[in-house]
Amino acid sequence: MEKIVIAGHGSPENNANNLDHVARLLHEMIHPGCGEDCVRAAYLRFAKPGIMEAVTSCVRDGAKKVIIHPYFLSSGAHVSQDIPSIIREAGEKYPEVQFVCTEPMGVHNKMVQVVLERIETASAGLKPWEIEKKSFDIISDEIDLSDLPEERRPVIKRVIHTTADFEYKESLVFYPGAVKAGIAAIKAGKDILTDVEMVRTGINRNLLEKWGGRVICEIRGQGVGIRDSDNKTRAERGIEDALKENSNIGIIAIGNAPTALLKTIELLSTGKGLLPYDAVPPLVIGVPVGFVKAVESKSLLAAQDFPFITNISRKGGSTVAVAIVNALLKMA
């Protein structure tokens, strides 16, 4: 088993410690639909987890090979001394594991392309929000959403913006009033429960916290697909525990684990073991990606009599779940 650690410097400013996003994108690029925690972020200082801590968690989860990528632009002291020292320590501590350290970001023709893109954007005088607006304008020009209910259009647009996939216009399915239910939950200060950390880290917490809500993920241990003594996956157990312990959950966002979605449907449709929800069930955003149980779990969700947003296809994933939630947050 192979794990990858993206190792950055870290900053006292929490908002600057965003390697989780890089790790998530890389993971979905190399292992689409994977439910394991194959790519992890770590920091040299100021932020958690530390590099050794991340390496240790990889080994505990069964990794026989750990690849460490220094997310640095040049080979300074951190890359040439500090990180190799940590890797040597890890090698001594775990001699049965192979450790590989890549070159840093460095000078690469693709980096030059990124710099050129930034220069062209700045020369055009476009701010980040203006770039997003232009992207949405392009989407509006290329696809007609006028035949859809107005409240659903911002959600579909943001999913298309995230995926560059116009098929979501046809495959996204909404329970009547689902969008209104999601906005109402946000404005009521309800919490958002996610199946995996990849979804949790992508949700715009600044927008949610203005209303008093939190984003929570109750994964116990590492590896969402690993089953416990009760033959339940970590993601499935996390959903079950959270719903039994927290009566303030207003939205459940599942982008990775079909087992978590199936467990959510079971609990909400039967009410088994749940805390009272004041007769207002949570909105379930269920868009797991993959070939095993993904379509089946979403088809089952589409037949339920509580608020949901889903898509009937193999496509989906954490980024789609995040896009739907963030669309609702911006609408709120």
Report pLDDT digits (tens) over 215-251.
999 874 444 444 444 568 888 888 989 988 888 999 9
List the 308-311 sheet strands across, edge first. Answer: 172-174, 308-311, 283-286, 249-254, 191-194, 215-217
Top mean-pLDDT range of 103-117, 118-132, 298-312: 298-312
pLDDT class of 115 with cuts at 50, 70, 90: confident
Catalytic (active site) residue 161: yes
Tokens 């913006």 label which residue?
Answer: 161
What is the extent of the structural domain holding 22?
Answer: 2-101
Q: Which residue has the higher pLDDT, 225 or 29?
A: 29
Report yes or no on 137 lying in a domain: no
The answer to the question of residue 251 being in a domain is: yes
The pTM of the full predicted model, rounded to 2 decimals, is 0.66
Among 21, 69, 108, 161, the active-site one is: 161
Core vs surface per residue 16-25: b (16+ CB within 10 A) or e: ebebbeebbe
d(CA 196, CA 252) in angstroms, rounded, equals 11
The pLDDT value recorded for residue 226 is 47
Domain boundary among 69, 101, 133: 101
Distance CA 120, CA 115 (A): 9
User: How many structural domains compose the chain?
Assistant: 2
CA–CA separation, 208 and 195 (whole Å): 18
Express the helix, strand and coil content of the chain in percent, nearest 5 each: 50, 15, 40
Query: 68 and 162 share a domain?
Result: no
* Domain CATH for 272: 3.40.50.10230
The pLDDT value given to residue 11: 92
Query: 178-187 vs 318-331: helix axis angle to the nearest 10?
Result: 70
Domain holding 14: CATH number?
3.40.50.1400
* Residue whose pair of structure tokens reads 């193999």 in the numeric block: 314
**pLDDT above 70: percentage of residues in the chain:** 90
Do 169 and 313 share a structural domain?
Answer: yes
88 and 182: one domain?
no
What's the N-to-C CA distance of the chain in angstroms? 43
Residue that terminates a domain, selected from 78, 101, 124 = 101
114 band by pLDDT with thresholds 50, 70 and 90: confident
Q: Are residues 11 and 154 in the same domain?
A: no
Regarding whether 225 and 79 lie in a shared domain, the answer is no
Give yes or no: residues 176 and 95 share one domain. no
Answer yes or no: is 135 within a domain: no
Same domain flag for 209 and 268: yes
